Structure 1
C-alpha cells in the first residue's frame, strides 16, 4: 500500500510538472515568442531553461501537437503551426489567447455568438420543456441576486450559466458541448463588458426577454432577444474600461 501511495504521489507530481510546461510553452506560442514556422529550441535547452527533465518537455510537446499548435518532423524538428491550425475550442488555447491577443479573442467570441446563439434560441423556443425553461429562470435569478449585491460577486458566473442553459435548452448535444467548450471565451467577454457602468442593470431585462420568449414558444422573439444581448455587449465592450489595448 505504501508503495502504491508513493507511486501516486510521483504520478501527480509528473502531471503537475507536465501541465506547467504545457502552459509555459503554450503561452509563449500564443504570445508570439515563437511565430508560425519557427523551430522550438531543442529539448535539452528547454528542459534546462524551465528546470524540468527532457521527458517532461517531450510530453508537453506532444500535448501541444494534439492542440494543433506544433508539428514534429524527423528532419525539420519541432515547429510552430499557424493559428489557423490551432484548436481554438481547446480550453488551454482559449486561456493563452487571453494573454496573447485578447482583443482578437473578444472579436471572435462576438462573431461566434452572432452565428450560434440566435439559432440556439430559436431551437430552445421550439423544443424546451419545463425543466429547461426552469434552468433558464434559475440562472436569471442567480444573475439578479448577484446584481443586487455586487459585493458578493458571481454575476459573470451566473451569466455564463444562463448562456450555457440556453444552448442546452434545444436538446442539441453538440450545441451544449459548444457552450461548455467556449466557457472561458464567454468569461473573458463578460468580464470586459460588465465593467462598463450600467451594463449589468441594463442586461437583466434583455435576459428576461429571452426566457419569456422561450417559455412562450416564440422562436423569432427568442432569437431577436438574444441578438439584442449580443449587440449590447459589443457596445459595452467598446466602451469598457477593461478593454485590452493589444492589437487585433
Structure 2
C-alpha cells in the first residue's frame, strides 16, 4: 500500500512538472488591437479628467479594454494604462514614443502601429513605423520599417528591435521600346511586395512570418523568375539579431 502511494505521489509530482514546463496553466499570449469609438462618454470623461493632455481637439483616442478592468489608450505617440477601481479609472502608467517630424520633401513619415505586442504575461511592446516613398519613371515604392519598444512598468521604454523590414510594395517599369510593349501582354511593370505576420509563441519569443511575392512583366530583362517566398523566423527577445535572416532582396531599404 505504501509503495502504491509512493508511485502515485511521484507520478503526480511529474505531472505537475509537465504542466509547469509546458505552460498549460498560463493564458495564451495575444496581440491586442487598439480600436476607435469604443469609449462611452462617461469613460472618455474620466480619461480626460485623469490626463487632460490626451483630449485636445486634434487627438483621436484609440482604446483596448482588457480583463480585470484594465484600459489602454493610444493617442498619437502616447500610450496610457488605466485601471478601474471602485467604478473609477485610475492612471497606472504612461509612455511616450519619440517620433521624428515628418519630412514632406524626403517623403518620410512616422506613426505608432495600433497594436500591443505581448512580451510576457501582462507585459507589452509597441511598434513605431517609419514610412518612405520613392518615385521612379512610371513606377515607385512604398517602404515601411519597424522599431519595437518594450513598455516598462516605470514608464520608460526598452528598445527591443530596431529598423526591421515591415512591408514594402515596389513597381518598376519594364517596357522601353515598341518591341517591349508588343511582348508585354499588357503588363509593362515588374512588381514585388513584402508583408510580415507577427505571432507571440512564448514569453520573450515572437515568430516573424515574412511573405514575399515577385511578379515580372513578360518584357522584363530581370534574370529572376516570378515567384513567391516565405520565411519563418523565431525571434528571441533577449538575443535579437541586428536584422532578420531573410534574402537581401526582401530587406529593401530604398534606393541609395
**TM-score normalised according to structure 2 size:** 0.24
- Structure with greater proportional helix content: 1
- Structure with greater proportional strand content: 2
Structure number, greater radius of gyration: 2
Higher RCO (C-alpha 8 Å, min separation 6):
1
